[in-house]
């Protein structure tokens, strides 16, 4: 059993995709950009990686599979450098627990990586995770991320949800207040739900030189 959560089911066929070489990034169509606040140039705060990261996740921007029953979330944004220049081909890794607070440690359910498009944009289709108890006490719902441009330093951080988020009958305000690791600067801008779907925005700012 993994630290911080119980073991969830394997992701199945979607987990079979291998991690591509960073020298030949997987590209996709240019994404429409949501209206977001102007880039501040301040680097996104780092956070602990935690014990549940797994390398070699599949290349995908859609983490939804038939086994996933949680509250749907479309998360989009742009990756900038500290001069507010968009960064195409930035590797972004995402991993999170499911609607029951469980991480998949045997497969790659709710795990994946992608590269930003020519405008530095990304789009992630996933669910809002649930809170759980782990080595740092009760964790508020969060999504782990890891970002890197080719040859640059790695930024590891965690994204959180606003206090008024409504999912799974949980009190997000209380959960956020109790989480010792939470950083309010890493809160997703959230709208909805509309037809059971939340729309979120978060722009990253990363350092490009070691």
Query: For residue 6, is pLDDT > 80?
Result: no
- 15 vs 90: which has the higher pLDDT: 90
Q: What confidence category does residue 3 fall into, taking pLDDT thresholds of 50, 70 and 90? A: very low
Tens-digit pLDDT profile for residues 51-80: 999 999 999 999 999 989 999 999 999 999
Write down the CATH number for the domain with range 12-206.
2.60.130.10
Whether residue 11 is predicted with pLDDT greater than 70 in this model: the reply is: no
The pLDDT, as a whole number, for residue 210 is 73
**Range scoring the smallest mean pLDDT among 11-15, 59-63, 200-204:** 11-15
| 71-98 mean pLDDT | 98
Residue 209: pLDDT band (50, 70, 90) is confident
Q: What is the pLDDT of residue 30?
A: 52
- 171-181 confidence digits (pLDDT tens): 999 999 999 99
Q: Three-state secondary structure along the chain? A: CCCCCCECCCCHHHHHCCCCCCCCCCCCCCCCCCCCCCCCCCCCCCCCCCCCCCCCCCECCECCCCCCCCCEEEEEEEEEECCCCECCCCEEEEECCCCCCCECCCCCCCEEEEECCCCCEEEEEEECCCCEEECCEEECCEEEEEEECCCCCCEEEEEECCCCCCCCCCCHHHHHHHCCCCCHHHECEEEEEECCEEEEECCEEECCCC
Q: Is 162 helix (H, G, I), strand (E, B) or coil?
A: coil
pLDDT tens by residue, 121-172: 999 999 999 999 988 889 999 999 999 999 999 999 999 999 999 999 999 9
Return the percentage of the chain with pLDDT > 70, whole number: 82
> What value does the mean pLDDT of the chain take?
87
Please write the tens of the pLDDT for every residue from 39-52: 989 999 999 999 99
* pLDDT value, residue 136: 84
């Amino acid at each position: 059993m993994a630290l911080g959560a119980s073991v969830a089911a394997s992701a199945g066929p979607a987990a079979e995709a291998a991690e591509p070489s960073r020298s030949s990034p997987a590209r996709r169509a240019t994404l429409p950009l949501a209206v977001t606040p102007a880039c501040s140039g301040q680097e996104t705060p780092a956070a602990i990686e935690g014990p549940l990261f797994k390398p070699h996740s599949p290349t995908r921007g859609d983490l939804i599979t038939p086994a996933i029953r949680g509250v749907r979330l479309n998360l989009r944004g742009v990756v900038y450098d500290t001069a507010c220049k968009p960064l195409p081909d930035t590797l972004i890794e995402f991993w999170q627990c499911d609607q029951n607070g469980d991480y998949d440690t045997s497969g790659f359910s709710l795990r994946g990586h992608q590269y930003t498009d020519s405008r530095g944009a990304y789009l992630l289709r996933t669910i809002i995770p649930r809170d759980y108890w782990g080595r740092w006490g009760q964790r508020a719902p969060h999504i782990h991320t890891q970002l890197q441009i080719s040859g640059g330093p790695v930024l590891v951080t965690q994204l959180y949800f606003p206090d008024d988020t409504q999912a799974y009958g949980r009190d997000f305000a209380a959960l956020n207040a109790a989480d010792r690791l939470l950083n309010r600067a890493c809160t997703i801008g959230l709208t909805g739900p509309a037809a059971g779907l939340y729309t979120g925005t978060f722009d990253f700012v990363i350092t490009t030189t070691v």
